[in-house]
Copies of this chain bind each other. A is one copy, B any other.
Amino acid sequence: MKKYDKLVKNAAGRVVPTIINGEEHIPYKGVGKHIPDGRKFAPRLSSCANYPADGDKRVPGLKEALIRAGLKDGMTISTHHHFRNGDLIANQIFDIAHELGVKNLRWFPSASFPCHEHLIKYLEDGTINRIEGSMNGPLGKFASEGNMQGLGVLRSHGGRYQAVQDGEVQIDIAIIAAPAADPFGNANGVDGPAACGLLGFALADSQYADKVIVATDNIVPFPCIPWQIHGNYVDYVVEVDKIGIPEKIVSGTTRITKSPDRLLIAEMTAKFCDAAGIIRDGFSYQAGAGGTSLSIGNYFGDILRERGWKARFIRAGSNQYPVRMLEEGLVEYILDGQTFDLEGVRSMRENPGHVNTSPFTSYNYHGKGNFATMVDVVVLGATEVDVNFNANVVTHSDGYLLHGIGGWQNCLFSRCTILPIPLFRDRTPVVKDEVTTICGPGELIDVIVTERGLAINPLRQDLIDKVKDSGLPVKTIHELKEEAEKICGAPVKPNLTDELVAVIKWVDGTVIDAVKRVDG
The smallest C-beta distance from A164 to any residue of chain B, in angstroms, reads 12
Residues in B with CB closer than 8 Å to A221 are 282, 312
| A352 CB contacts on chain B under 8 angstroms | 225, 352
Q: How far is the CB of A226 from chain B (nearest CB, A)?
A: 8
Q: Which residues in window 466-491 of A have CB below 8 A to B?
A: none
Selecting from A81-89, A119-127, A366-374, the interface stretch reads A366-374
From B40, B48, B223, B413, give the contact of A43 (CB < 8 A). Answer: B40
Chain B residue at minimal CB-CB distance from A235: B368
Q: Which of B38, B54, B232, B355 contacts A45, CB < 8 Å?
A: B38
- The answer on a CB contact under 8 Å between B51 and A368 is yes
So how many copies of this chain end up in the complex? 2
Question: What residues on B are CB-neighbors of A225 within 8 Å?
Answer: 333, 352-353, 355
Q: Chain B residues near A227 (CB, 8 Å)?
A: 361
Residues in A341-376 with C-beta less than 8 Å from chain B: 352-353, 355, 360-361, 364-371, 373-374
Q: Is A234 in the interface zone, CB < 8 Å from B?
A: yes
Please report which residues of chain A, range 232-278, place their CB below 8 angstroms from some CB of chain B when the two chains form the complex: 232-235
Provide the residues of chain B in CB contact with A312, threshold 8 Å: 221-223
> Which chain B positions have C-beta within 8 A of A446?
none
A517 to chain B, nearest CB (A): 34
- Given the complex of chains A and B, what is the CA–CA distance between A231 and B348 in angstroms? 22
Interchain nearest-CB distance for A205 vs B (Å): 14
Main SS at interface, chain A: loop
Contacts of A364 in B (CB 8 A): 232
| Contact, CB under 8 Å: B360 / A230 | yes
Assess whether A508 is in contact with B47, with CB atoms less than 8 Å apart.
yes
- A189-231 contact mask (Cβ, 8 Å, vs B): 1 or 0: 0000000000000000000000010000000011101110011
Q: Is the CB of A369 within 8 A of B48?
A: yes
In the bound assembly, the distance between CA atoms of A235 and B36 in angstroms comes to 17
Minimal Cβ-Cβ distance residue in B for A32: B49
Which B residues lie within 8 Å of A231 (CB)? 361, 368-369
Specify which chain B residues have a CB less than 8 angstroms from the CB of A37 in the assembled complex. 45
Nearest B residue to A365 via CB reads B48
In the complex, what residue of chain B is closest to A35 when comparing beta carbons? B47
Q: Which residue of B lies closest to A47 (CB)?
A: B35
Name 28 interchain pairs, CB-CB below 8 A, sorted by A.
Answer: A32-B49, A34-B47, A35-B49, A36-B47, A39-B44, A40-B42, A40-B43, A40-B45, A45-B165, A47-B366, A48-B365, A48-B367, A48-B370, A48-B373, A51-B368, A53-B413, A54-B373, A55-B371, A57-B368, A57-B369, A185-B369, A222-B312, A222-B313, A225-B333, A227-B361, A232-B361, A232-B367, A232-B370
